[in-house]
């Protein structure tokens, strides 16, 4: 119980602590009953999960923009901080609409983990928007500066 209070003082909630208890790598015991250190891979996985649970929004956003968000991180956020996962999804959706497909392979993979379906499929299911305007109605005609671009000058003007 003292461990739980200490962890909560550090910012880890009971929900996060229970997630760590069920999903953290198990520590082996030697023949004398002493705990053995975790393998490098298991220790890295534990450190990564712990960092995500301590600072879910900042760490989740960093992992997403670095293309390193994986299914383990998404399941950790879903189990412990679903509101943070939803905020990450909403921000990513806004950026997907802003930049539009095709996405780089690393971004496609990270977004697919975030939305739990292929990013291209997720983007296709969303209402078509471009820069906050309907794709069918692109908005204001090009400015004089835009008309310097040959491809813009050759477009037919919609009324």
Q: What is the pLDDT of residues 34-89, one digit of tens each?
A: 988 989 999 999 889 988 988 899 999 999 988 899 999 999 999 999 999 999 99
Per the structure, the count of domains in the chain is 1
Q: How far apart are CA 155 and CA 122, in angstroms?
A: 30
Closest CA to 52 of 77, 26, 23: 77
Q: How far apart are CA 84 and CA 54, in angstroms?
A: 12
* Domain assignment present for 17: yes
- Per mean pLDDT, which range of 2-6, 21-25, 139-143 is the poorest? 139-143
* Domain assignment present for 32: no
Instruction: Tell me which residue range forms the domain holding 96.
Output: 2-24+45-153
- Per mean pLDDT, which range of 4-8, 124-128, 133-137 is the poorest? 133-137
* Domain assignment present for 158: no
pLDDT of residue 61: 92
DSSP-based helix, strand, coil % in the chain, nearest 5: 60, 5, 35
pTM of the entire predicted model: 0.66
pLDDT higher for 92 or 124? 92
* Domain assignment present for 71: yes
* Domain assignment present for 35: no
Q: What is the pLDDT of residues 95-110, one digit of tens each?
A: 888 877 777 888 888 9
Q: How far apart are CA 34 and CA 55, in angstroms?
A: 32
Q: Do the beta carbons of residue 19 and residue 79 sit within 8 Å?
A: yes
pLDDT of residue 135: 44
* Domain assignment present for 93: yes
């Amino acid at each position: 119980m003292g461990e739980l209070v200490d962890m909560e003082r550090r910012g880890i909630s009971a929900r996060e602590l229970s997630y760590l208890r069920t999903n953290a790598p198990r520590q082996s015991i030697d023949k004398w009953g002493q705990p053995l250190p975790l393998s490098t891979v298991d220790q890295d996985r534990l450190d990564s999960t712990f960092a995500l649970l301590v600072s879910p929004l900042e760490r989740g956003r960093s992992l997403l923009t670095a293309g390193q968000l994986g299914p383990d991180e998404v399941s950790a956020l879903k189990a412990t901080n679903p509101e943070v996962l939803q905020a990450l999804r909403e921000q990513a959706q806004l950026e997907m609409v802003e930049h539009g497909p095709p996405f780089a392979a690393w971004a496609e993979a990270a977004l697919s983990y975030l939305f739990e379906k292929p990013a291209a499929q997720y983007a296709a299911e969303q209402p078509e928007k471009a820069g906050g305007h309907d794709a069918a109605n692109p908005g204001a005609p090009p400015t004089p500066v835009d008309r310097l671009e040959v491809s813009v000058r050759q477009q037919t003007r919609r009324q």
